[in-house]
Amino acid sequence: MTKDQYGLEMSTEVKTRNIKFLFWGKTSTRKTETVLRYLPHVLLIDTEGNSDQCVDMPEIPPFKRLLTKDQRKVLQMLDLVGQKKILFPDGSLAETVSIDSASVLWSVQQDVASSAAETRAARYNKDQMSVTVTQRDWSLAKRPLKQLSNLLAGAPIKFIVLIAREKDLYKETTGENDKLVKIGVCADVMKGTEYEVNVALHMQFDENGKWFAEVTKVQGGLAKIFPMGKRLTAFPIKEVLEYSAHLSGEASQDKSGTDVAQSIAEQEIENETPHTQKELIDYAKLKGTEPQALGNLLKQAGMADFDTKRWMDMKTLVDNFAQQGVPA
């Protein structure tokens, strides 16, 4: 895909890389089985051992799996997938990566937040009963899950499936008798996960014991296969594979949110550091740009004079001129 000098791209040239699913529901509602039965070349990250029940089913093709609840091992495995080191016996790369279940990873990270608060309390000899989980603790707990989301979205994988448990959704009433009232159910995942997937299916059994999946989230052209609110009585694998024929399965070249945040923070810190005009002239000379040419560069970029508040902009200007011979 080509971008112009401003970093813009035409929508007609954009290629969709993957489909991100969320399968959620109560236990034994065929969430894991659906992934293993229908989607190709599955790497299953199994946090609960659920896949044990699927290894002897002849209708389920062989799959690779990693048994772990450790977020660090999950990230290491996804790095290997990104490096194209995970191969199947026929030489194929992993086309599907599924985490079964994301609920367990989230539960572990919630414990991380609690442990951080308890460790802090112990360090300052505070009563463990008065421990309060802070916003910083939650940020610490969520960080690996954000990294996981970034890796999944950027890895060369066609199908990404998060499997989640179902939990009750409550609303607190106000009045003389305050109480919690159940208002429905939802997926037991980190807040915001539902916004990161393209399709969410709530898997259930009806009163007659027949399986179905209700579409609770869908984006774009996938609505032709998964109409919002529809009850599916079978997973439409034929349509999914036809739709996915145009998926690139390529790795994303975009920086993750974490990388962008770090870059912005570094630039802000750099901008706050006092710099001198001589320092810029010396930097430009190091890059092969003489003082007079530097002055012309600054004028062309709308900077009539040295501006310490735009230090990083001026450095970028010098870098681009050194590499391309043109101002940024």
Residue 201: which of 245, 232, 178, 170 has the closest Cα?
232
pTM of the model as a whole? 0.71
The ranges assigned to domains in the chain are 14-254, 258-324
Mean pLDDT of 23-31: 95
Q: How confident is the model at residue 328 (pLDDT cuts 50, 70, 90)?
A: very low
Q: How confident is the model at residue 13 (pLDDT cuts 50, 70, 90)?
A: confident
Mean pLDDT of 302-327: 77
Q: Is residue 250 predicted with pLDDT exceeding 70?
A: no
Instruction: Provide, rounded to the nearest whole percent, the portion of the chain with pLDDT above 90.
Output: 34
Residue 40: which of 19, 61, 16, 58 has the closest Cα?
61
Mean pLDDT of 215-237: 96
Q: Is residue 274 predicted with pLDDT exceeding 80?
A: no
Q: Is residue 129 predicted with pLDDT exceeding 70?
A: no
Tell me what pLDDT residue 128 has. Answer: 65
More confidently predicted of 102 and 97? 97
Cis amide leading into 101 (omega within 30): yes
Tell me what pLDDT residue 152 has. Answer: 77
Write the DSSP string, 139-202: HHHHHHHHHHHHHHHHSS-SEEEEEEEEEEEEEE--SSS--EEEEEEEE-S-TTHHHH-SEEEE
Residues 172-216 pLDDT 10s: 777 667 778 888 999 998 888 888 899 999 999 999 999 999 999
Mean pLDDT of 104-119: 80
In the block, tokens 């999914």 appear at 240
Structure tokens at 117: 């608060």
Average pLDDT, the chain: 84
Q: How confident is the model at residue 159 (pLDDT cuts 50, 70, 90)?
A: very high
Overall CATH class of domain 14-254: alpha beta
Mean pLDDT of 138-142: 76
More confidently predicted of 16 and 233? 233
